[in-house]
Structure 1
Amino acid sequence: MHHGIDRARHPHYIGGMTKKTTPSEIDLELTHLEEQVAGLLQIIERLSQENRSLRAQQDSMANERANLLEKHDKVRTSVDGIVTRLKSLETGI
């Protein structure tokens, strides 16, 4: 049994390519396609802007993370120093 598209069973398989169209139908189709292309171009522009914005936000957050990690390391070093001094005071008493 053949499950593919069979022109004998589906006579309109290429109907869209072979039917006779009037100039006004072609104009309507072209207008419709132009509107679709214009809509797609707007979507592309919006997505490009969103992409640029998200990349800038990602860069900003990466910089903020690097700064926070640096501060974290400084605080850790400071706290480690304080703990060491406290331990030396305890043993010195």
Structure 2
Amino acid sequence: MEQSEVQLLADKLDKLIERCEKLERDNALLREAQDDWNRERAQLMQKNDLAKNKIEAMIGRLRALEHH
């Protein structure tokens, strides 16, 4: 192999390494964002269940008042 071919391969390898490092950083950021969305989703589901339980309790009390 000539020196220029070796240098060309070295340059390509450097670019490939840079791309892999960028993809790793991007992947880490996406995983953090996904974790945030999952936490928010869990909180919203919990709030939804709480609201549902309160509404069901109110409906039960209203029905009890109708029968008196």
TM-score per shorter chain, which class?
Answer: over 0.9
TM-score by structure 1 length? 0.69
Aligned pair 1:86/2:62, yes or no?
yes
Q: Which residues in structure 2 correspond to 1:25-40 (within 5 Å)?
A: 26-40=2-16
Q: Residue in 2 aligned with 1:54?
A: 30
Runs of 4+ in 1 over 4 A off after TM superposition: none
Query: Aligned partners of 2:14, 2:7: CA distance in 1, in Å?
Result: 10
Q: Residue in 2 aligned with 1:67?
A: 43
Query: Aligned partners of 1:89, 1:36: CA distance in 2, in Å?
Result: 78
Query: Aligned partners of 1:50, 1:91: CA distance in 2, in Å?
Result: 61
Q: Which one has a bigger Cα radius of gyration?
A: 1
Contiguous gaps of at least 5 residues in structure 2: none
By relative contact order (CA 8 Å, sep 6+), the higher-ranking structure is: 1
Kindly tell me the number of residue pairs found equivalent between the two proteins: 68
Contiguous gaps of at least 5 residues in structure 1: 1-20
1:83 maps to a residue whose letter is I
Q: RMSD between aligned alpha carbons?
A: 1.1
